[in-house]
Protein backbone atom coordinates (compact mmCIF):
# COMPACT_ATOMS: atom_id res chain seq x y z
CA UNK A 1 0.00 0.00 0.00
CA UNK A 2 1.28 3.43 -0.90
CA UNK A 3 2.02 5.77 1.92
CA UNK A 4 0.31 9.11 1.99
CA UNK A 5 2.43 12.22 2.61
CA UNK A 6 1.34 12.22 6.23
CA UNK A 7 3.00 8.84 6.75
CA UNK A 8 6.35 10.01 5.44
CA UNK A 9 8.93 11.42 7.73
CA UNK A 10 9.39 15.11 7.54
CA UNK A 11 12.82 16.63 7.32
CA UNK A 12 14.78 13.44 6.69
CA UNK A 13 16.39 14.72 3.50
CA UNK A 14 17.87 17.68 5.32
CA UNK A 15 19.74 15.79 7.98
CA UNK A 16 22.97 13.84 7.83
CA UNK A 17 22.81 10.11 8.48
CA UNK A 18 23.10 9.58 12.23
CA UNK A 19 26.55 8.65 13.46
CA UNK A 20 27.16 5.85 15.90
CA UNK A 21 27.18 7.09 19.46
CA UNK A 22 29.83 6.03 21.96
CA UNK A 23 28.32 4.74 25.19
CA UNK A 24 29.47 2.95 28.32
CA UNK A 25 27.38 0.24 29.91
CA UNK A 26 28.30 -1.39 33.21
CA UNK A 27 27.18 -4.92 32.47
CA UNK A 28 27.31 -7.52 35.24
CA UNK A 29 29.93 -5.42 37.01
CA UNK A 30 32.12 -4.99 33.97
CA UNK A 31 32.62 -1.72 32.10
CA UNK A 32 31.76 -2.18 28.42
CA UNK A 33 32.42 0.61 25.93
CA UNK A 34 30.73 0.39 22.55
CA UNK A 35 29.41 2.46 19.69
CA UNK A 36 25.78 2.02 18.80
CA UNK A 37 23.39 3.44 16.24
CA UNK A 38 20.58 5.39 17.95
CA UNK A 39 17.99 2.79 16.98
CA UNK A 40 19.84 -0.10 18.63
CA UNK A 41 17.72 -1.45 21.47
CA UNK A 42 19.38 -2.41 24.73
CA UNK A 43 18.34 -5.99 23.96
CA UNK A 44 20.13 -6.00 20.60
CA UNK A 45 23.21 -4.33 22.09
CA UNK A 46 23.42 -7.01 24.78
CA UNK A 47 22.85 -9.94 22.44
CA UNK A 48 24.49 -8.88 19.20
CA UNK A 49 27.25 -6.55 20.35
CA UNK A 50 28.24 -7.90 23.75
CA UNK A 51 27.41 -11.54 22.95
CA UNK A 52 25.29 -11.87 26.07
CA UNK A 53 22.68 -14.10 24.48
CA UNK A 54 21.14 -15.26 27.75
CA UNK A 55 18.66 -12.40 27.47
CA UNK A 56 16.06 -13.56 24.96
CA UNK A 57 14.16 -11.81 22.21
CA UNK A 58 10.63 -13.16 22.36
CA UNK A 59 8.01 -10.79 21.00
CA UNK A 60 10.27 -7.70 20.73
CA UNK A 61 7.22 -5.59 21.70
CA UNK A 62 7.21 -5.62 25.50
CA UNK A 63 4.47 -8.20 25.72
CA UNK A 64 6.30 -11.38 26.77
CA UNK A 65 9.02 -10.39 29.25
CA UNK A 66 11.72 -12.72 27.81
CA UNK A 67 14.02 -9.69 27.44
CA UNK A 68 13.75 -8.62 31.09
CA UNK A 69 17.00 -7.30 32.60
CA UNK A 70 17.78 -5.15 35.63
CA UNK A 71 18.83 -1.56 34.92
CA UNK A 72 20.16 0.21 38.00
CA UNK A 73 18.46 -2.54 40.01
CA UNK A 74 15.01 -2.21 38.40
CA UNK A 75 13.51 -4.76 36.04
CA UNK A 76 12.63 -3.46 32.59
CA UNK A 77 11.91 -4.75 29.08
CA UNK A 78 15.21 -4.32 27.23
CA UNK A 79 13.44 -4.57 23.86
CA UNK A 80 11.64 -1.26 24.43
CA UNK A 81 14.72 0.65 25.56
CA UNK A 82 17.36 2.28 23.39
CA UNK A 83 20.94 1.44 24.34
CA UNK A 84 21.94 5.14 23.98
CA UNK A 85 19.39 6.08 26.62
CA UNK A 86 21.09 3.77 29.14
CA UNK A 87 24.58 5.26 28.71
CA UNK A 88 26.31 4.98 32.10
CA UNK A 89 23.76 2.57 33.60
CA UNK A 90 24.41 -0.58 35.60
CA UNK A 91 22.86 -3.55 33.86
CA UNK A 92 22.41 -7.05 35.24
CA UNK A 93 21.53 -9.89 32.90
CA UNK A 94 21.00 -13.58 33.61
CA UNK A 95 24.75 -14.08 33.03
CA UNK A 96 25.49 -11.81 36.00
CA UNK A 97 23.38 -13.50 38.66
CA UNK A 98 25.63 -16.42 39.63
CA UNK A 99 28.46 -15.35 41.94
CA UNK A 100 31.83 -17.16 42.24
CA UNK A 101 30.50 -20.23 40.52
CA UNK A 102 27.49 -20.51 42.85
CA UNK A 103 24.03 -20.28 41.36
CA UNK A 104 21.80 -17.41 42.42
CA UNK A 105 19.07 -18.64 44.82
CA UNK A 106 16.50 -18.06 42.06
CA UNK A 107 18.45 -20.18 39.58
CA UNK A 108 18.73 -22.98 42.14
CA UNK A 109 15.04 -22.67 43.00
CA UNK A 110 14.00 -22.90 39.34
CA UNK A 111 15.98 -26.13 39.08
CA UNK A 112 14.59 -27.49 42.37
CA UNK A 113 11.00 -26.80 41.32
CA UNK A 114 11.36 -27.76 37.65
CA UNK A 115 10.09 -24.26 36.85
CA UNK A 116 10.54 -24.51 33.10
CA UNK A 117 10.10 -26.79 30.16
CA UNK A 118 11.61 -25.25 27.01
CA UNK A 119 13.53 -22.65 29.02
CA UNK A 120 13.17 -19.77 26.58
CA UNK A 121 11.33 -17.48 28.98
CA UNK A 122 13.46 -18.54 31.96
CA UNK A 123 16.21 -15.86 31.88
CA UNK A 124 13.48 -13.20 31.75
CA UNK A 125 11.49 -14.94 34.48
CA UNK A 126 14.53 -15.12 36.76
CA UNK A 127 15.63 -11.52 36.15
CA UNK A 128 12.05 -10.37 36.68
CA UNK A 129 11.82 -12.37 39.91
CA UNK A 130 15.11 -10.84 41.08
CA UNK A 131 13.54 -7.42 40.50
CA UNK A 132 10.37 -8.49 42.28
CA UNK A 133 12.29 -9.64 45.35
CA UNK A 134 14.30 -6.40 45.41
CA UNK A 135 11.08 -4.35 45.21
CA UNK A 136 9.69 -6.12 48.27
CA UNK A 137 6.04 -5.54 47.29
CA UNK A 138 4.95 -9.14 46.88
CA UNK A 139 3.77 -10.50 50.23
CA UNK A 140 1.44 -13.25 49.05
CA UNK A 141 1.13 -15.81 46.28
CA UNK A 142 -1.52 -13.64 44.63
CA UNK A 143 0.89 -10.71 44.66
CA UNK A 144 3.71 -12.81 43.21
CA UNK A 145 1.42 -13.91 40.40
CA UNK A 146 0.22 -10.38 39.71
CA UNK A 147 3.69 -8.81 39.82
CA UNK A 148 5.10 -11.54 37.55
CA UNK A 149 2.33 -11.12 34.96
CA UNK A 150 4.72 -9.36 32.57
CA UNK A 151 6.51 -12.67 31.99
CA UNK A 152 4.68 -15.11 29.78
CA UNK A 153 5.51 -18.86 29.85
CA UNK A 154 3.97 -20.61 26.87
CA UNK A 155 4.86 -24.00 28.32
CA UNK A 156 2.63 -23.09 31.25
CA UNK A 157 5.09 -23.67 34.07
CA UNK A 158 3.47 -20.95 36.17
CA UNK A 159 2.71 -22.95 39.36
CA UNK A 160 6.31 -24.13 39.52
CA UNK A 161 7.63 -20.65 38.78
CA UNK A 162 5.62 -19.25 41.68
CA UNK A 163 6.87 -22.04 43.95
CA UNK A 164 10.46 -21.37 42.89
CA UNK A 165 10.11 -17.67 43.61
CA UNK A 166 8.64 -18.41 47.04
CA UNK A 167 11.61 -20.66 47.82
CA UNK A 168 14.11 -18.03 46.68
CA UNK A 169 12.34 -15.31 48.65
CA UNK A 170 12.64 -17.40 51.78
CA UNK A 171 16.26 -18.26 51.03
CA UNK A 172 17.03 -14.58 50.51
CA UNK A 173 15.33 -13.53 53.74
CA UNK A 174 12.15 -12.20 52.19
CA UNK A 175 8.58 -13.36 52.50
CA UNK A 176 6.56 -15.48 51.99
Partner 1 sequence: MINFQYARANDVADAVRQIAADPGAKFIAGGTNLIDLMKEDVERPSRLIDISRLPLKTVEATAVGGLRIGALVPNSDLAYHPLIKQRYPLLSSAILAGASQQLRNMASTGGNLLQRTRCYYFYDSATPCNKREPGSGCSAVTGLNRMHAILGTSEACIATHPSDMCVALAALEAKVHVTGPAGDRAFALADFHRLPGDTPQLDTNLQPNEIVTAVELPASGFAKNYSYLKIRDRLSYAFALVSVAAALKIEGGSIKEARLALGGVAHKPWRNPAAEAALRGQAADPAVFQRAVDVLLRDAKGFAHNTFKIDLARRAIVRALTQAAQGTPQSQSSKKIR
- Contacts with partner 1, residue ranges (CB under 8 A): 1, 3-4, 6-12, 15, 17-18, 21, 37-39, 41, 60-62, 65, 68, 74-77, 80-82, 84-85, 128, 131-132, 135, 137, 140, 142-143, 145-147, 149-151
CB 64 within 8 A of CB 58: yes
Report the nearest approach of partner 1 to the CB of residue 67 (Å). 9
Report the nearest approach of partner 1 to the CB of residue 101 (Å). 29
Q: What is the DSSP string of 39-60?
A: T-BHHHIIIIIS--TTS--SSS
Dist CA 104 CA 168 (whole Å)? 9
Question: 5 vs 173, which CB is nearer to partner 1?
Answer: 5
CA nearest neighbour of 57 among 124, 126, 106: 124
Question: 16 vs 102, which CB is nearer to partner 1?
Answer: 16
Dist CA 116 CA 119 (whole Å)? 5
Report the nearest approach of partner 1 to the CB of residue 43 (Å). 11
Amino acid sequence: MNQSPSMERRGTEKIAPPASIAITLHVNGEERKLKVAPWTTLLDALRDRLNLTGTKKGCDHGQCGACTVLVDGRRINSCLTLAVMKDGANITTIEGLAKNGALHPLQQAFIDHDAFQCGYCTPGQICSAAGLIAEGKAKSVDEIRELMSGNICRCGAYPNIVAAIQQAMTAMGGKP
